[in-house]
Amino acid sequence: MNMTTQNLLVELFVEELPPKALKKLGEAFASELAAQLRSRGLADAASVVTPYATPRRLGAHITKVWRKAADKTVQQKLMPVSVGLDATGQATPALLKKLQALGADLSDPAQAVAALRRAPDGKAEALFYDSLVGGATLDTGLQKALEEALARLPIPKVMTYQLETDCELPGWSSVQFVRPAHGLIALHGSTVVPVGVLGLKAGKHTQGHRFEAQVFPVLIMDADSYADTLREDGAVIASFAERRAEIVRQLAAAAAVAGAAGDAALHPIEDEALLDEVTGLVERPNVLVCAFEPAFLDVPQECLILTMKANQKYFPLLGADQRLSNKFLVVSNISPADASAVIGGNERVVRPRLADAKFFFDQDRKKTLASRVAGLDKVVYHNKLGTQGERMQRVRALAGAISAQLGDPALGAAVDSAAQLAKTDLLTDMVGEFPELQGIMGGYYARHDGLGEDVALAIEDHYKPRFAGDELPRNAVGVVVALADKLETLVGMFGIGNLPTGDKDPFALRRHALGVLRMLIEKDLPLGLDALIASAVPVFGDSIVDASAALAEFIFERLAGSLREQGYSAAEVDAVLGLRPQRLGDVPKRLAAVRVFAALPEAPALAAANKRISNILKKAPEVDAHVSELLLREPAEIALYAAMQQLAPQAQTQFEAGDYTASLKTLAALRLPVDDFFDAVMVNAEEPDLRLNRQGLLKSLHLAMNRVADLSRLVA
């Protein structure tokens, strides 16, 4: 058997693949192919996998691939010895039948039985048949690996296409794949592996760049020369990662040239998704500098940037102040000696797009936002929750209630105006064309209407935070309207039973909940969560069911998950959130205090004692926190009471001042008297008065110790 290894190269040549999916397709094809070969013993963990993906090919280079996998010894249990052998040690008919089914040589049954292995199997002894199974050959193993890899590709949408067959009957057979495939390479070293998929047979030839390849077709001599040959003869950078890095390098160089020409430092806009998409559109990138008329810069730059990126896949150039310049970069797939025609063509194409944006902007400003309010009544928000107009009135009412809870009378008028106008830009031409600009355009139009910066910023920011890590609204008016907007969605959707399930969350309720949490915590707002939810329920009238409890639980679950992602332990999070703190701005301080407390030498004993106290009090729920000094008999309970009298007021003062760490440190001094109490005092005494008094003492202790967090949850 030949156990030497060689490197393997597989390439599937196809028509243009979907650019947004190309990176994932390339990585999946290579990793799945390698995994399939490893599972068949043709490659191992030491094999290095290099994925290739261009608009017209998926490929993989895998090192150390065997021509044939090693043979394997297979051990198979047959049956108990008592069933397989008779009293004289001869094979029973059942055993002979089993051996025959396994293909054993039965020309000498006695010898076949003697070759069996006897080994303990539970309480009895069993017969085992050991056989040598030949390892898979690369020809058959790669065929199956290829079929599996293609079947498991994360294809966004499958195409069905016909191909001519070589069968006797003339006709067509249909094939399904992401795009029609036209070529297959499978090279083990320099040897073609005879495999086939999608109606193709493997060979050594592929095609290079559609316009700039030096030769046609491109001959790949061996697996290791693939990337270099494609680059030299085919004018193609086969590696997605290399092509992306080359685009980044060229973008920076072209921006420097464009900036030097205009005496200002310019840089391309950062957009990882756009970079991936453009890498999926070109086989050999060539970055060119283009420009448009400076007059278009009067249009809000967000509109121009969006149309250039979304519609044309261009990279806008920004100055040091992040202001848009009138220059942009194009990643071309061709590199002519004179690029002026390519540059001119791209400049001609972008002009109508920018002209459309300017037209929308000019038209929209002819109507005030206030004049659009009535139009919200004609836009359905949800069939059970009415129109956008009705929704706006609910958000207004809720925003007013939040302003009142914050106790800032100066907020009222600006909050009401922003809440009333926040959704009106949905009716503008610009947002109709570019929904991503909702809020942003409202801010521009509010400034044009002379509504003041507070209201303009609030309209622009009320969707924030829109995603993880997004910034929060920049002013108090925006925070109130954003809170009201998100709470209205949460309370309304929970109230009609529209809850997220599994990974489905069509109304982004998880994101809205995290947005509410971030504003309450990071802005440290003096608002109780339950009170906030309660103030939102009445604005719906009788159109919803009150699902406040379920919503509060949902929000706390999101908070717990978020805190664990931030690095807090499950015990720390459970201890703090177990108390359901209402002012969520306190949560980070409580967590910090718990972390300090948990590191104290007294912490484990006090946490364990708290758990014991909780269990005792669960059996006596009617007990109140009252202690009669006259009924304190044992020295240990007298000492604990005295320590509490001294330390509890001090800890309470620190707690009320918001110094949670100091409060818990003060209470840590109770460790010895608490330990002594449990060592020396029988809580459930025979006399009812003594029992109630001791339970009351524990209740007082429990209340004092668990204001910051439920310390019993720190027990491992």
For position 480, which CATH number holds?
Answer: 1.10.3210
Residue 258: which H helix or E strand, with range? Answer: helix 240-261
Task: Read off the DSSP letter of residue 175.
Answer: E
Separation between Cα atoms, residue 115 and residue 287, nearest integer Å: 72
Separation between Cα atoms, residue 415 and residue 411, nearest integer Å: 6
Tokens standing for 398?
């809720």
Check whether the bond before 465 is cis (ω within 30° of 0): yes
Structure confidence at residue 134 (pLDDT): 67
Which has the closest alpha carbon to 298: 448, 422, 449, 451?
Answer: 448
Structure confidence at residue 168 (pLDDT): 43
Structure confidence at residue 89 (pLDDT): 77
Say yes or no: 520 and 625 in one domain.
no
CA dihedral (459, 462, 468, 471) in degrees, to 10, reads 60
Structure confidence at residue 262 (pLDDT): 67
Domain assignment present for residue 62? The answer is yes
Say yes or no: 65 and 77 in one domain.
no
Say yes or no: 228 and 312 in one domain.
no
Separation between Cα atoms, residue 362 and residue 303, nearest integer Å: 13
Say yes or no: 146 and 125 in one domain.
no
Q: Considering only CA atoms, give the Rg of the chain.
A: 37
Say yes or no: 288 and 146 in one domain.
no
Q: Which domain holds residue 683?
A: 603-714
Say yes or no: 64 and 149 in one domain.
yes
Say yes or no: 542 and 396 in one domain.
yes
CB 444 within 8 A of CB 362: no
pTM for the structure as a whole = 0.77
Say yes or no: 507 and 396 in one domain.
yes
Q: Which of 510, 539, 567 is the last residue of a domain?
A: 567
Structure confidence at residue 140 (pLDDT): 84
Say yes or no: 556 and 419 in one domain.
yes
Give me the residues of the chain with pLDDT under 70, please. 1-3, 132-134, 164-172, 262-263, 716
The burial class, CB within 10 Å (0-12 / 13-18 / 19+), for 69 is: buried
Domain assignment present for residue 682? The answer is yes
Domain assignment present for residue 618? The answer is yes
Number of domains in the chain: 5
Q: What is the pLDDT of residues 236-279, one digit of tens each?
A: 999 999 999 999 999 999 998 887 776 678 889 999 999 999 99
- SS3 assignment, position 211: coil
Structure confidence at residue 470 (pLDDT): 87
The burial class, CB within 10 Å (0-12 / 13-18 / 19+), for 107 is: exposed
Separation between Cα atoms, residue 409 and residue 412, nearest integer Å: 6
Tokens standing for 135?
């390892």
